[in-house]
Structure 1
Amino acid sequence: MPSRVRSQGHRVTLGLRLLATALAALLASPSLAGIAGPPAPPEARPEIPLLRHSREAEIRARVERILASMTVEQKVGQLLFVGFGGTEVDEGGPIERLVKGKQVGGVALFSRNIESLTQIAHFTRQIAALLPTIPPFIAVDQEGGNVVRLSEPVAAPPSNMALGAARSVELTRRAAQVQARDLWLLGFNMNLAPVLDVNSNPANPVIGIRSFGEDPALVGAHGAAYVRGLQSGGVSAVAKHFPGHGDTESDSHYDLPALPHDKTRLLAVELAPFREAIRKGGLDAVMTAHIALPAVEGRPRVPATVSRKVLTGLLREELGFKGIILTDGLEMKGIVDAYGSGTAAVKAIQAGADMVLILWTREKKEEVHQALLSAVRDGRISMARLDESVRRILTVKMRRGLFDRRPPPVEEALAVISNSSAGPAIAREIAERGLTLVRSREGLTPIDRRTHRRVVVLSADRTFDREMGRRFPESVRIRTPAVPSRARRARDLERTREAAKDADVLVVGVVNSYQARMVGQLVRTLRTPIVVVNMGSPYLIRAFPGVAGYLCTYSYRPASATAAARFLAGEIPAPGRLPVTLPGMYPLGHSAWVDPRASHGGGGGGGATSRRP
């Protein structure tokens, strides 16, 4: 009798498992989600705890079997994350010799590797075919905004700061999920994103609109949502730049920045978004920054990348991170000047890093590879330490499905991307919901075409110029280069002054400090009201503090330029709120937009506000 009961119980348990698996597959179906793409990885499915525990046990067992079968050379190869020139794999050529010869753990592709969607889809599949036993990470740097390697129709958010201004965590998650679908179909299984730097320093030269904002809670919530969205689509997220590059005034590509703050401040601000992404996002990987943390490290000029106190003590032990630690590029001046690439690679692994990023020169890749092999052979990197890293790398690859799933044939994948409206639609939604009206004196914006018939538009952006022309066909439009020469700037200024002296309003699109300085000169010399549409850093208003109207898109992507023109024409609202403080002018959370329905009892709107998010 007991034997029969056990048999029945086994059948019931098996039936429940099959039912749970079927339901999970159905719920994860791309057709139900409205997004074609990869099968959802197991941790994105609604599993019962017993099944999830069983899945993790299976992963651990598979990882240990693979690890036990690997040679030292194969294990060291897994630590290498490399880049190279070229757009296809030639048999016996330099890419095959590097990737297959060293059996690398990961590959990062950039604009130099991309000619078209068809080409890159074939290229990623060629790279994957070089390493069929242990698949490589194939990564792209597709943050969105001003850091994109793949253009439309591939999905990418207008910018993280636009998402921060939109104040919708769910929108951020959906944007990342759509992005993951496109990346996976193209053959990528890792994205070097999101940026989790808290942009608390207006003078920061390298982060800016790449950040979700200056509020650690805002950055953490959106960062965790981005991680969940990306990884639910089978693409590993890489949060960067740990321990935080947002309060620096130099760029680690060229120098060694330092964060002088004490540990209490670091935990409350710089580290808070990483902690949130680890705890609530299930983050796969973190990229280190070559930044000194003297309050943690105890020494003033030691980059976080090679600090055991930072990587192991802070990131692993205090923040509880169990995923992959990937260094930033080991050819950057912030680290190579102090150590050299090979020594830096060894020190990074000793400190707790798992993979080292080496992207540009063949000589540096060889230097790093030989340095790591030598360190393992002479015991400076123990076998136990090497196995720790390889185990983490294999575990993430297993969880993300690299051993079990392959993207569809190229033609099928490209058809899904080109026939889908999901990417452009999500970019448009972000652009419109993030649009922030910072200033509008005397109700200048939207532009009332009954009272402002003579409109002059000065812009370097082709899309903005075109969309303004469609909505204001009688306007005078002047195109200027993004970075004009001094002579060209003088000519454009004179032409603009002449056209605008009898105009009702002058609209100027700006992206960078060159254009911002032009606006400053126009504000000082013209009586005509000026509306600035800022498609770059919101802090640029410091160059023209007296401007009458100020609209921020946080992006020069086409969706953002179109949204700005639509708002100025009165077609859409500007519901976004500042995700940063504009010092001495406007606080975090400010908006000058007034919903016209609010004054007529329509509800749902609001007035000008400076509420915190």
Structure 2
Amino acid sequence: MRSPKLSRKSVLVTSVAGAVAAVGGGAVIAGAAARRGGGDAPGDAVDETTEAAPDWVETQLASMSLEDKVGQLFMVYVHGESADTDQSEAVASNRERLGADNGAAFVAAYKPGGIIYFDWANGLTDPGQIAALSNGLQEAAGDVPLLIATDQEYGSVVRIGEPATQFPGAMPLGATRDLEAAHEAAQIAGAELRAMGLNQNFAPDADVNVDPANPVIGVRSFGSDSALVAEFTTAQVGGYQAGGVAVSAKHFPGHGDTGTDSHVGLPVITHTTEEWERIDAPPFVAAIAAGADMVMSAHIQFPALDDSLKPATLSEPILTGLLRDRLGFDGVIVTDALDMQGVRTEYGDERVPVLALLAGADLLLMPPDFPLAYEAVLAAVAAGELTEERIDASVRRLLALKHARGIPEAPMVDASAAADAVGTAEHLAVAADIAERSITLLANDGTLPFAGGSVLVTGWGENTTARLTESLAGLGVQAEALVTGEAPDAAAIASAVAAAEGRDLVVVTTFNVASGSAQADLVAALMDAGVPVVAAAVGTPYDAAGLPAVNASLASYSYTAPSLAALAKVITGALDPSGMLPVDVLSESGEVSYALGHGLHYA
């Protein structure tokens, strides 16, 4: 077992504590007023660090037309496995959304600040293909290279799959309590992304997940304790940057206490200002102190921070007054995706980009109609609603970020070497080690470790049940899988009960168990059948509070291959569980069923 280096952990904790202390009591970061510059319009703030920007930044800015500058404010996705694709479906999609045939043509015409990758848009089939796509886009960019980004949080949010190393994700890392492991995982992940031509990752997630029913964060968070999340955020900011990629802490001012998904609605955070300072702010303060390149805004209403009820993405009091002025963030403010419903509920797609810039944003992510958004920003400058000086301030920040990360000096990568740098045996071993130390044993009446015999693996997830069954079989256990899904009906439950007959153990994988969930009915029926039952939560550990009493309860926080292999080892006793809950698991009445830090061992 890896022992955290106390020197590293001590430094991390000290830096976090010092940074967080700067927020308390309504303290205002010194020099905030000076950073506002002399602009009259909201969002006219000029970053103090850009006043001493490298010559490269000023040279590039001076060579840009207004149209070029406005292009830099956008990051979009393009369709196609190559930059110059002529595949008809990709060309049609690009024309509809971007007004160009392919990525290379779009980049050459509009000179965007960046491109974001998604598997469904770019294929992302193998490291060599991804690297070649990146090189083709950078070649089209010319003198001002692109930020090439993705959302590679790992765990439940991952865009580039195998052979890239698949780490378990944020909450499993929180369960290890190992800051060194968090740094190492991010450094490896950053190096793999950089080998494929990516230079920006939209991670880590700095949200404190205090709502068990949160439909959009959950295991993407390191936990429900602000100090723990702040420490792990700090570790990962440094790790990703050491691996060669820029980072973005998200989702400011905090998306951890909501029952609404901002992809489909507009969440409201009801925390008071004091609660925000105590719960939500510390991880962002820590990220800023650690030198995070970007902070991503949230499409949430936060009445205590802005009583106009504008989404934070469009809120000048939140982005400029709070993030820039009070917290002293000098980097790039990036919006969450502008095609999400949370930011489109009150305003048209042509107004959202302008309002985000007025609020203080620098980089506009994924507008649903790029030509409309681009022309709207140009029109706002022509009408005097936005000044060119305001545009320049954001472009300076973006150029300074690119320069600071060394992107202009080395925008291209060796596509032929990408495969050898990704998913190495050493990297996979680190992912497996993290997974093994994250598995948390919540309850056990002596059923575990399993002494041997026949096992039925049932419950949520076709791939999950199959992989867990395969892992158990690899450890010498006779195991069979029967998937019943997220909402098993009476027939599925009856099939599982019948399949359990004569077994020595039943393992039920659960996911998103809510009040009245049919997964609880499945577990109850299996318990009534008289076979020992182990419940394994492969998403959030909150499932444990929504199930009837079982013989043993485990949390893996993840359904990645390393986590399921580790889960099998714990079930069979090949591994002693050592994970500790990074959240409080509450009952329906609000009482603590399993407290933060809880975790049983065999020995």
SS in 2 for 1:237: strand
Partner of 1:572: 575
Superposed counterparts of 1:30-45, under 5 Å: none
Cα drift, residue 563 of structure 1: 0.3
What is the identity, as a one-letter code, of the residue corresponding to 2:302? L
1:328 aligns with 2:345: no
SS in 1 for 2:129: helix
Out of 98, 110, 117, which is 2:106 matched to?
98
Cα drift, residue 512 of structure 1: 4.1
Cα drift, residue 129 of structure 1: 0.8
Out of 279, 282, 288, which is 2:291 matched to?
282
1:78 aligns with 2:87: no
SS in 2 for 1:339: coil
Partner of 2:162: 152
Distance 1:519 1:552 in 2: 18
Distance 1:415 1:500 in 2: 44
Task: Flag the 1:115–1:392 CA change in 2: closer, same or farther, 3 A.
Answer: closer
SS in 2 for 1:353: coil
- Taking only aligned residues, the RMSD between alpha carbons, in angstroms, comes to 2.0
Cα drift, residue 95 of structure 1: 2.5
SS in 2 for 1:533: strand
Distance 1:568 1:429 in 2: 16
258-267 or 61-70, which moves further after superposition? 61-70
1:538 aligns with 2:541: yes
Cα drift, residue 533 of structure 1: 1.6
What is the identity, as a one-letter code, of the residue corresponding to 1:474? Q
8 Å CA contact retained: 1:578, 1:590:
yes
Distance 1:61 1:547 in 2: 65
Out of 58, 61, 73, which is 1:64 matched to?
58
What is the identity, as a one-letter code, of the residue corresponding to 2:472? M
Partner of 1:601: none
8 Å CA contact retained: 1:516, 1:540:
no
CA deviation string 1:243-297 (max 9, x = no partner): 1111001011111111122211101111110100111x21000111111111111
217-226 or 106-115, which moves further after superposition? 106-115
Cα drift, residue 493 of structure 1: 2.3
8 Å CA contact retained: 1:153, 1:423:
no
Distance 1:121 1:65 in 2: 29
> What is the TM-score normalised by the length of structure 2?
0.84
CA deviation string 1:66-108 (max 9, x = no partner): 2222211111111011113222222773333322211100111
Distance 2:594 2:535 in 1: 16
Superposed counterparts of 1:196-275, under 5 Å: 196-275=206-285
Distance 2:285 2:401 in 1: 19
What is the identity, as a one-letter code, of the residue corresponding to 2:444? S
Cα drift, residue 518 of structure 1: 4.8
Distance 2:79 2:486 in 1: 28
Partner of 2:507: 507
8 Å CA contact retained: 2:248, 2:292:
yes
8 Å CA contact retained: 1:156, 1:423:
no
8 Å CA contact retained: 1:407, 1:413:
no
| Unmatched 5+ stretches in structure 2 | 1-48, 86-99
Distance 2:77 2:197 in 1: 16
82-91 or 282-291, which moves further after superposition? 82-91
1:435 aligns with 2:439: yes
Cα drift, residue 124 of structure 1: 1.1
Partner of 1:43: none
8 Å CA contact retained: 1:523, 1:544:
no
> What is the TM-score normalised by the length of structure 1?
0.82
What is the identity, as a one-letter code, of the residue corresponding to 2:520? R
Cα drift, residue 156 of structure 1: 3.7
Distance 2:538 2:161 in 1: 18
8 Å CA contact retained: 1:186, 1:407:
no
Partner of 2:467: 463
Out of 416, 426, 433, which is 2:421 matched to?
416
Partner of 1:480: 483
8 Å CA contact retained: 1:59, 1:399:
no
SS in 1 for 2:345: helix
Cα drift, residue 219 of structure 1: 0.6
SS in 1 for 2:280: coil
Distance 2:139 2:303 in 1: 44
What is the identity, as a one-letter code, of the residue corresponding to 2:134? T
Distance 1:107 1:416 in 2: 22
What is the identity, as a one-letter code, of the residue corresponding to 1:494? A
**RCO comparison, higher one (Cα < 8 Å, 6+):** 2
8 Å CA contact retained: 2:454, 2:477:
no
Partner of 1:40: none
Cα drift, residue 343 of structure 1: 0.6
SS in 1 for 2:346: helix
8 Å CA contact retained: 1:142, 1:156:
no
Partner of 1:16: none
Distance 2:341 2:280 in 1: 23
Distance 1:211 1:381 in 2: 36
Cα drift, residue 454 of structure 1: 4.2
1:403 aligns with 2:403: no
1:295 aligns with 2:295: no
Cα drift, residue 472 of structure 1: 4.4
Distance 1:380 1:240 in 2: 28
CA deviation string 1:37-57 (max 9, x = no partner): xxxxxxxxxxxxxxxxxx999
8 Å CA contact retained: 2:294, 2:334:
yes
Distance 2:425 2:351 in 1: 48
Partner of 1:33: none
Distance 1:311 1:588 in 2: 32
Cα drift, residue 210 of structure 1: 0.7
SS in 2 for 1:125: helix
1:187 aligns with 2:197: yes
Out of 107, 110, 123, which is 1:114 matched to?
123
State percent identity of aligned pairs: 36
Out of 364, 384, 393, which is 2:398 matched to?
393
Aligned residues: 527
8 Å CA contact retained: 1:516, 1:543:
no
Partner of 1:178: 188
Partner of 2:450: 447
8 Å CA contact retained: 2:527, 2:533:
no
428-437 or 458-467, which moves further after superposition? 458-467
Distance 2:411 2:79 in 1: 24
Task: Flag the 1:261–1:56 CA change in 2: closer, same or farther, 3 A.
Answer: closer
8 Å CA contact retained: 2:298, 2:335:
yes
Distance 1:481 1:516 in 2: 9
Distance 2:352 2:451 in 1: 60
Distance 1:348 1:474 in 2: 57
Partner of 1:7: none
1:349 aligns with 2:334: no
Cα drift, residue 483 of structure 1: 4.6
8 Å CA contact retained: 1:185, 1:407:
no
Partner of 1:426: 430
| Unmatched 5+ stretches in structure 1 | 1-54, 597-613
Distance 1:532 1:554 in 2: 13
Partner of 2:142: 132
Cα drift, residue 515 of structure 1: 7.1
CA deviation string 1:421-464 (max 9, x = no partner): 233112101100111001111x2211123xxx343332532210
What is the identity, as a one-letter code, of the residue corresponding to 1:319? L
CA deviation string 1:564-607 (max 9, x = no partner): 1011111111111001111131111101224x2xxxxxxxxxxx
Partner of 1:607: none
